[in-house]
Chains A and B, each alone.
Chain A
Amino acid sequence: MKKVFLIAGFIILVFIIFLIFLQKPNQQISTTQNKTTIVPRDFTKDYSSLNKLFPGKSTKDDVLRINGVPLSTTTNGNETTLYYPTPNRDFQNIVVLKNNVEFYSIENIFDSYRGTYENFQTAYGTPDLTLYNTSEDPFIWQIFLNQGLGVKTNNKDIIKILYFIPQTEEEFLLTLAKKLNLSKENITPEAPLP
């Protein structure tokens, strides 16, 4: 009788391990580091060329040629993310490729070399969407869907720029907004403090 229980227990254990194995994503995530990448130091200088790329058109080769060699690269299935250094060690620019074509990119801006939010409004009109971070900062994202541009701003300075393939609001909210944790509602607007 004891033997039967042992065998049954063993079979159940093997079955559980099998189930866990089945649930694991079959995609492999790999990361490569590059130590030769040049790290920008000057906050006042335009250090990045992500604004010269075209999401939906630029290939990985274009990205490497125009924006240089990334600091590191992560590949997850057909999606590759290139990480680029900025003058602040705590922030990195990213370029996300799908099947080796730029899907979107995010550029950190440290000075006024990309203009002000007012400049964006003058050029592109009223933004189509105002989105909020679901995490920790009070900046807002203003999205210009037809131009494939999003700016993170305090309504004066540009803090980050999102470059993406022009798309509909529904499409944007379903894909990029989710990916970047952006929401139409200001869920956690700010921090509780002592």
Chain B
Amino acid sequence: MEKNQNQGQHKGLVDYANSLLNLRQGASLALRGAATGIGSTAIWATGIALGALFLTFSIATFFGGQGAASEVTTTPLENTQDISNLFNITGATQTEIQTVSDALSLGLSFPGYKKNFTASDPVSIVFEQNLTWDGGSVNGLVLAGNKITVRSGLSQDKLKYTILHETGHLIIFRGRAYQQYSLSDLRQADPDCYSPLGYLKTYPFANTGGGGGVPVESFAESVSQFLLNRNFSTECPSTYSWMLNNVFRETQ
């Protein structure tokens, strides 16, 4: 399950990492270009200064990181947090709250997505240790139209993905988009994007089946892919367009 999930953790994240690398390469080339034409002493001096700066930054980051890590693992927050009056989070650490907020911000920047959460009651997001369903461990669960339950202690990437996937389930319940979602048509248009069972391939159980069934899970998965996978528009153009026009744009 985890293996599949990691595969499904997306090219999007890989691409994101690649894009960061590209940026760094660009910066290094720019630095080299700037140094050309300056004397060798000046270059040495600049190098030493940059080295010292890097060392200082590394030490600061290391100790800062240690502090943040201990806060995450030892002080879960019991109080309810509020994200723009739309989501109430309970049982999460400060880092988890921040990660959820970051993930939801991605979705809420699209008016159509946001509309699903402004037109109804606030959604409660509850963090639970050892979350299970039907005898098996799960990372997220939607029990009703206004509640998401999430496993505590997920990595930031998994938490982002899980939250956005779960909001896809809430959108099914909160609007009419799902009724107009024709998975048959989308599978036909983007055949490489779907598993033989019919699930969007990135869904962790795409090859084994499970969850709430093929159309429901593929819909929710498409919501998370739309927001997290930077290549979704080119890999699955029809599914992407459908999501853009029917879920993320205001005119849904």
Contact = CB atoms under 8 A, between A and B. Distances in A.
Interface of A: 43, 87-91, 108-111, 135-139, 154, 156-157, 159, 188-194
A191 B169 CA distance: 9
B184 A90 contact: yes
Contacts of B158: 194
Interface in B188-244: 203-205, 210-213, 215-217, 220
Pick the most buried of A87, A154, A192: most chain B CB atoms within 10 A of its CB.
Answer: A192
B185 interface: yes
Which are the 9 A-B pairs with shortest beta-carbon distances?
Answer: A191-B212, A192-B133, A194-B204, A136-B213, A192-B138, A136-B212, A193-B140, A191-B211, A190-B142
Interface in B122-166: 133-134, 136, 138-145, 158, 161-162, 165-166
Contacts, number: 94
Given A89-B182, A136-B216, A137-B216, A190 B144 contact: yes
Nearest to A135: B213
A90 B182 contact: yes
A156 B143 CA distance: 18
Interface of B: 1, 5, 8, 120, 133-134, 136, 138-145, 158, 161-162, 165-166, 169, 172-176, 179-185, 203-205, 210-213, 215-217, 220
A138 B142 contact: yes
B203 A194 contact: yes
A90 B179 CA distance: 9
A192 B134 contact: yes
Nearest to B1: A194
Contacts of A43: 176, 179-180
Main secondary structure of the interface of B (DSSP, over half): mixed
B216 A110 contact: no
Contacts of A159: 179
Given A87-B180, A90-B182, A138-B145, A194 B139 contact: yes
Contacts of A192: 133-134, 136, 138, 141, 210-211
Contact of B169 (A87, A91, A190): A190
A90 B183 contact: yes
25 contacts: A43-B179, A89-B185, A91-B179, A136-B212, A136-B216, A137-B172, A138-B145, A154-B173, A154-B174, A189-B144, A190-B169, A191-B141, A192-B133, A192-B136, A192-B138, A193-B138, A193-B139, A193-B142, A193-B166, A193-B211, A193-B220, A194-B8, A194-B138, A194-B139, A194-B161
Nearest to B5: A194
Contacts of A190: 141-144, 169, 212
Given A194-B138, A194-B161, A194-B162, A139 B173 contact: yes
A155 B5 CA distance: 34
Pick the most buried of A110, A111, A193: most chain B CB atoms within 10 A of its CB.
Answer: A193
A54 B174 CA distance: 31
Contacts of B120: 156
A139 B217 CA distance: 15
Given A90-B184, A137-B172, A194 B165 contact: yes
B174 to A, nearest CB: 7
A156 B121 CA distance: 12
Nearest to B215: A90
Given A191-B169, A193-B141, A194-B5, A110 B180 contact: yes
A8 to B, nearest CB: 44
Pick the most buried of A90, A110, A156: most chain B CB atoms within 10 A of its CB.
Answer: A90
B165 A193 contact: yes
A157 B162 CA distance: 27
Nearest to A154: B173
